[in-house]
Structure 1
Amino acid sequence: MAHLSVNLLGPLQIYREKHPITNLFRTEKEQALLAYLLMEKGHAHSREALAEMLWPERTEGVARTNLRQALSGVRHAIVTGSLFQPFLTITNKTIQFNTECEYSLDTEKFHQLIEFTRSHKHNEKDGCPICIEKLQDAVRLYRGPFLANITNTDSLTFREWLTIYREQYFRQLLEAIQKLSEYYKTLGDFEKALRYARQLVTLDPLDESSHRQLILILGMQGNRSAAIEQYQACCKILSEELGVSASRETQDLYEKIKAGMLSGKQHSNMLSSFTPTQLTMFFGRE
């Protein structure tokens, strides 16, 4: 049986027996159809519902014709030789992705890695190395927003579906990166902590807590001028984009850094303030 590998995080990538076949999909709607069937593979979908979702502004007859053509394109793309592999279970009324076939999906791997870190039990006071490895694997899997290349859709229902998954995976990514930054900060590995903190600010520049994490790490690293510059950048973007000032917590951090209270011996004092309870918030339960 042929193996189908699909990556939905970032631009769609489809492989059959490790050979890329994404370019065999003729239209964005064909890609959207396969992606939808993969993500909602738990049950069969009526042809009527799929046609209405993907072509809402067409008449029922035209929408059903478009669905037949798109389905034909999907089947053609995933066929191996002259044999149609059972990646899809198709009847006159319904279509469903066949979960009994050989396939792999990056969103499933991503979800499994994140859920492992949430449920894993361990006794590490300074975070769990196993969970950290899982989080790093999850971050590497995330190539970009869910189905980043799907942009031209006239269906409100499909856009809402797309937005829900994009937001879900993006928030899980931010959570993973935040935990990694916190872990390395607690260990005193400021270079790695800084790398993840910068990534957070780049991904979500309007999140003040991400800026504060970056400011704190720069201060703990002894780079006071860079920390002050980051504080100023934070204040500017909050003012220009949201029309608000930095919170008292962020301002207090700035004042401490400006006064030189987070350099030298303050590193160890800051690290010792973390309790096992705080750490297990980020790395599962003891």
Structure 2
Amino acid sequence: MTRLHIQLLGGFRLDCDYTDVHVVPGARRLLALLALRDSPVPRQVAATLLWPDTTTRRAGACLRSSLWRLVKPSTPLVVVNEDTLTLGPHVEVDFRRACAFAAAPGASPEAVGMLKADLLPGWWQPWVQAERDWWRQARLRALEALSDRFRSCGDHHHAHQAALAAVHADPLRESAHRTLVELHLADGNPAQAVRQYQTYRTQLRAELGMEPSRHIHELVRPLLR
């Protein structure tokens, strides 16, 4: 059986038996769409989403062409029924594994690496943007939960990594900055805690004209005095 793996995090890639396979743009979008969906996608829906700026007839023709031009390994990439399309049952998808981490984040360094990656960066189709918006919020919550779990286990190194990944994903997310401030204080680094607070305060003022909340300010108030 051919090992098939689709990467969506950090950019699209199709591997067949650990070898990168070139995929034409139409087929690439089709595989990405099916990889993002857990249930079968009606052919007409897929054609409309993938080729929204053309007629229904032309979109259907483009879909048939993309299916024909797909690489055809011994393990099927796409299961084609009369009215629906589904990703092959043995195709691995990194995004689905990352979603499992996000749903139940365990204290695993691998989870941090997957959760900090963007979903299909550079793709601006509406069906991608909707998934990207969901993924952004899900991974932020998961990264903060991971940071707390690492910290409770005494692993401050990976706790810092998870919190930093959340800050990089959303530089104005106060809860992530607060986690980093708490970690610096727990590590006995008050100066670094103040710098983290001041960085967040400067960004918040510059972009939104707001001040940090009392909760994060109280952490460093004794040090500021």
- Segments of structure 1 that go 5 or more residues without pairing to the other structure are 118-130, 154-158, 260-286
1:90 pairs, out of 69, 80, 88, with: 80
For 1:198-237, list aligned pairs within 5 A. Answer: 198-237=164-203
Does the residue aligned with 1:57 lie in a helix, a strand or coil? Answer: coil
Aligned length: 225
C-alpha distance in 1, partners of 2:183/2:194? Answer: 12
C-alpha distance in 2, partners of 1:94/1:194? Answer: 45
Could you say which residue in structure 1 is the equivalent of 2:161? Answer: 195
Identify the structure with bigger relative contact order (alpha carbons < 8 Å, sequence gap 6+): 1
C-alpha distance in 2, partners of 1:235/1:106? Answer: 35
Could you say which residue in structure 1 is the equivalent of 2:91? Answer: 103
Could you say which residue in structure 2 is the equivalent of 1:19? Answer: 19
Q: What RMSD in Å do the two structures reach over aligned CA positions? A: 2.5
Could you say which residue in structure 2 is the equivalent of 1:145? Answer: 118
Could you say which residue in structure 1 is the equivalent of 2:47? Answer: 51
Q: Deviations over 1:206-264 (max 9, x none)?
A: 111211221222233232222222222111111111221111112222213335xxxxx
Normalised TM-score (structure 1): 0.69
Could you say which residue in structure 1 is the equivalent of 2:130? Answer: 164
Letter in structure 1 aligned against 2:68:
S
Superposed displacement of residue 116, structure 1 = 4.3
Specify whether residues 52 and 199 from structure 1 end up closer, same or farther in structure 2 by C-alpha distance, changes over 3 A only.
Answer: closer
Letter in structure 1 aligned against 2:110:
D
C-alpha distance in 2, partners of 1:6/1:97? Answer: 10
Letter in structure 2 aligned against 1:178:
E
**Are 1:132 and 2:104 matched, yes or no?**
no
Contact 1:224 1:258 in 2 (8 A): no
Q: Percent identity?
A: 25
Normalised TM-score (structure 2): 0.85
Structure with the greater alpha carbon radius of gyration: 1
Q: Deviations over 1:82-128 (max 9, x none)?
A: xx6533233564433332xx3212122223334445xxxxxxxxxxx
Contact 2:116 2:139 in 1 (8 A): no
C-alpha distance in 1, partners of 2:201/2:65? Answer: 53
Contact 1:10 1:143 in 2 (8 A): no
Contact 2:11 2:121 in 1 (8 A): yes
Could you say which residue in structure 1 is the equivalent of 2:67? Answer: 71
Superposed displacement of residue 187, structure 1 = 4.9
Does the residue aligned with 1:72 lie in a helix, a strand or coil? Answer: helix
Letter in structure 2 aligned against 1:256:
P
Superposed displacement of residue 189, structure 1 = 4.7
Does the residue aligned with 2:79 lie in a helix, a strand or coil? Answer: strand
Letter in structure 2 aligned against 1:148:
P
Could you say which residue in structure 2 is the equivalent of 1:179? Answer: 145
Specify whether residues 15 and 238 from structure 1 end up closer, same or farther in structure 2 by C-alpha distance, changes over 3 A only.
Answer: same
- Segments of structure 2 that go 5 or more residues without pairing to the other structure are none
Contact 2:115 2:143 in 1 (8 A): no
Does the residue aligned with 1:132 lie in a helix, a strand or coil? Answer: coil
C-alpha distance in 1, partners of 2:208/2:98? Answer: 32
Specify whether residues 98 and 180 from structure 1 end up closer, same or farther in structure 2 by C-alpha distance, changes over 3 A only.
Answer: closer
2:34 pairs, out of 17, 37, 42, with: 37
Does the residue aligned with 1:256 lie in a helix, a strand or coil? Answer: helix
Could you say which residue in structure 2 is the equivalent of 1:284? Answer: none
Does the residue aligned with 1:20 lie in a helix, a strand or coil? Answer: strand
Specify whether residues 13 and 149 from structure 1 end up closer, same or farther in structure 2 by C-alpha distance, changes over 3 A only.
Answer: farther
C-alpha distance in 1, partners of 2:159/2:86? Answer: 44
| Deviation >6 Å, runs of 4+ | none
Does the residue aligned with 1:227 lie in a helix, a strand or coil? Answer: helix
